[in-house]
A and B are shown apart, each in its own frame.
Chain A
């Protein structure tokens, strides 16, 4: 496994958190910003377009009033109704028309026509166009609709006057017998109103009438030449509102307001990329803030990690020393957090280990001493001399089988007793060892004592610490039976009691007084060195106290009871 330092992990996770949060924040705020931009743009464009529409309605309405005024004028009515060639009347009408035109600067001309050939204009001195086509005069005919009396043209060139072509928007009120009052509104008025409205860098406003003809478009020629495309039919279908659509390679937002009065639709055209252009600034700003935050986050991560990883580094160095066996060190960590506690706990642990190691050393020492004592007791020279003496005596007595039996028992006794290696052996071998010992002693002491070894069936393969029985049997023989007058008996029994192996060495020797017994229990005497050795070895090997208990009645005998954990090969 690759090890990554805490510092790196911290810095990386700090960075991740910062980048993620800034990204989410940035993107969401950009989106919200963009949406707001679009909504604001749409509502303000709608407002502007609606405003322009109302202004135009006002204009046209005013001009319509002028048309009605002209129709209502008594001289004009006279002119219409009397077909004669009354020069005075015609002069009065001309003056009236001239005055009417003078009312406002944005009126190009006013004229009345009695028939296609009989026209009076506000431009007194300027003659009529001699080549005027009658069809031209009836321009309004396609616009005539039931209900509305006054007809409003789209942008058109007026050619009624000689040598004059002017762009106008005409308002005409024709009668059924082709009498007409017409006011021509200077087209520049409408053009300038539309041009004044700028939507974004290259957005604009155009006007279309209900027939789909352009009243004003800043690139009228291009539209007619189909170089420029406008989605006019879609816009007209919508009448009022906003339409976002693709035209060419740009996304266009059309905003339309239609006048019920003139039937004109004022269309605002803005380009989505221009609406969004300021959101790019926000995005860049967000990116820069993100970069700054990232730098700060790295700095903070570095600082925090230093506070954490420096003590950890200190701990690690101390631990490495401990690994090499140096338990004498004291960890000093400069921190005011959990790491200080951790260091303190480590120091405690080291101290405990140190004590345990000392304990262990002491124990080992003790074990060696006990093993040595045991060994000494096993190769007790007196026992060996006595036994060898007995064998020699038997040989002299020609007791061949006895000598063989005793020698065999001695050999078995030593083989099991002073075998090197394992500390544990089976109960069967331990019992065999004791039996060899008792056989030898029985041959020497003859009828002085009897013995029996009874091991419960099925537990002979149980394991136990070696040489626990013999020292106890030896005690029973020397301190229980020998001082007694008359024959004695030693019984060794072994059985299982639950999870324990219970071994009992019982003699019917002299026994001990309670006082002696107390002394024996409290601390070993020189005399009972075997008992003490057994007790100590049980403690070291099994780790338990009280595995050995002695009960004794003076004059009746002694019983030593070993209670050991029941071990078998499977467990061991």
Chain B
């Protein structure tokens, strides 16, 4: 009996030793490994309107999204068609994204109506969707993150009125007839200009620099009393700048544009362009991804988040806050480790 007791006591000591070793040395490693697997970064697919990185706007959106992914610990897979007009390609890419079963999808819809079925399918598959920049005609997307286009159009019009003489004759050059941003920006501008200016019928450039140039040249030729021009997107603004510079009437005809590019900033310094309404694509990309993280953590997110627009003039373009917006450097560049 005594012998067996001693044996059991020895066994107990051995068990204790093993447990301690396990607890102190093996477990923490195993746990952190398990934690890595368990907390493994959820994959989120970001489907942009275009993904060939030529457009500064989408480059900054990507940059914002990637910064956020790093901050909130998500894995991003950024996709998108060749250009903004390739709606069919984006519809196809959305179905592929659903098949890839990500934790969530961020969509910058290339078309207001045609992406709705795809989003509905994603929701049925249990994949939450938030829309960014351009939205869809459905409540299935859990949040809309982007610039309030009506507000932006109104701000552009207000800016123009500052530079123009009272009751000016104003030409509005819009981009794509029927697109939601064109419609909303026009609406905002018209609301502000009503009663304060004579607004010429809106013309559409199709988001093409040359078309915009031709249209602007035509208007400048036909309208000797023209007192201001509103250009509602970046290529359109570029075309108008060229026409206005050629006409030599930049001093009397203030031009206000929308969205940013190197050329537009040069024109701003030059004085041909009086002001520019810029969106905040970095914040748009960043907030979309942060919203996805909140969704995955079952935190409430607002249905609609306006990232706002900023009026840039020659005077304020080199203020620190604006320098960062206008001349962004690649913030999400992987940190040296």
Contact = CB atoms under 8 A, between A and B. Distances in A.
Interface in B171-204: none
Interface stretch (B76-84, B154-162, B241-249, B317-325): B317-325
Interface string A264-284: 000000000000001001101
A284 B27 contact: yes
Interface string B262-291: 100110011100000000101100110000
A307 B4 CA distance: 12
Interface residues of A, number: 52
Interface string B326-337: 111101010111
A288 B21 CA distance: 10
Interface stretch (A255-263, A290-298, A356-364, A403-411): A290-298
Interface in A123-172: 129-133, 136, 139, 154-157, 159, 163, 165, 167
A563 to B, nearest CB: 62
A155 B320 contact: yes
Contacts of B252: none
A99 interface: no
A286 interface: yes
Interface string A179-191: 0000000010001
Nearest to A290: B23
A138 B171 CA distance: 37
Interface residues of B, number: 50
A166 B5 CA distance: 82
Nearest to B18: A292
B31 interface: yes
A225 interface: yes
B120 interface: no
B71 interface: yes
A213 interface: yes
Contacts of B328: 221
Contact of B27 (A156, A201, A288): A288
Contact of A131 (B9, B269, B282, B320): B269
A289 B265 CA distance: 66
B31 A281 contact: yes
Contacts of A130: 270
A198 to B, nearest CB: 6
A221 B269 contact: no
Contact of A225 (B22, B23, B283, B329): B283
Contacts of B321: 224
A509 to B, nearest CB: 79
A114 to B, nearest CB: 22
Contacts of B5: 303, 307
B205 interface: no
B293 to A, nearest CB: 12
Interface of B: 1, 5, 8-9, 12-13, 15-16, 18-20, 22-24, 27-28, 31-32, 64, 67, 70-71, 73, 262, 265-266, 269-271, 280, 282-283, 286-287, 314, 318, 320-321, 323-329, 331, 333, 335-337
16 contacts: A131-B269, A156-B318, A156-B320, A159-B269, A198-B337, A204-B335, A220-B331, A224-B320, A285-B23, A288-B27, A292-B19, A292-B22, A296-B12, A296-B19, A300-B12, A334-B1
Nearest 3 CB-CB pairings of A with B: A292-B19, A281-B28, A288-B23
